[in-house]
A and B are shown apart, each in its own frame.
Chain A
Amino acid sequence: MKLSNHALLAGLGLCSGLLVDAHAGGGEVFCNGGQEVVEAWRNIPAGGLPWTLNTGPVGSRIAPGFEPISCAYALFPSTQITRLPGAQSVARGYRAWENADDRATGTQMTTIDFEAQPTPEGWNYLQPFFVIPSYWVAFGAEKYDGINMVSYWEPPSTFSGYGGPLAVGMTRVKANLTTGDIEEADIAFNALSNSGGAPYWSFLEENTLMNKTYVSQTADLDGGDPFADPILGYADAEGIAVHEFGHFLGLGHSLVEGKSLPSGGTCPTMFVVGHTEDYSGSAWIPDAITVCGGSATQSIDASIPATGGLVGRNLGTLQTDDNSAIGALYPSTGFTSQMGAISGTVLDGQLAGVPGAHVTAIGVSTPQTNRVGVLSMSGGQFSIEGLRPGDYYLMVEAVDEGKMFIGSDVPNYVEPGSSACVFLLPVFATEFWDVNEDVIETATMTASPITVSAGATLTGKDLKVTGANTLLVQLAGANPNTASSRGIRVVPGAGLNPSIEIRLEEQATLGGQTAYLTIVPERANTLVNGELVQTASTSAVPGFPVTLPLSLDASGKASVTIPITDALAHHAFLVQALVIRPNLTLKVSNTLTVFVERP
Chain B
Amino acid sequence: MSENATILYVDDEELNLTLFQLNFKKRFNVLLAESGLEGLEMLKRNNNIVVVISDMKMPGMNGIEFIKLARKEFPKIRFFLLTGYEINEEIADALNDRLIHKYFRKPFNKSEIEEAILEFL
A joins B in a complex: no
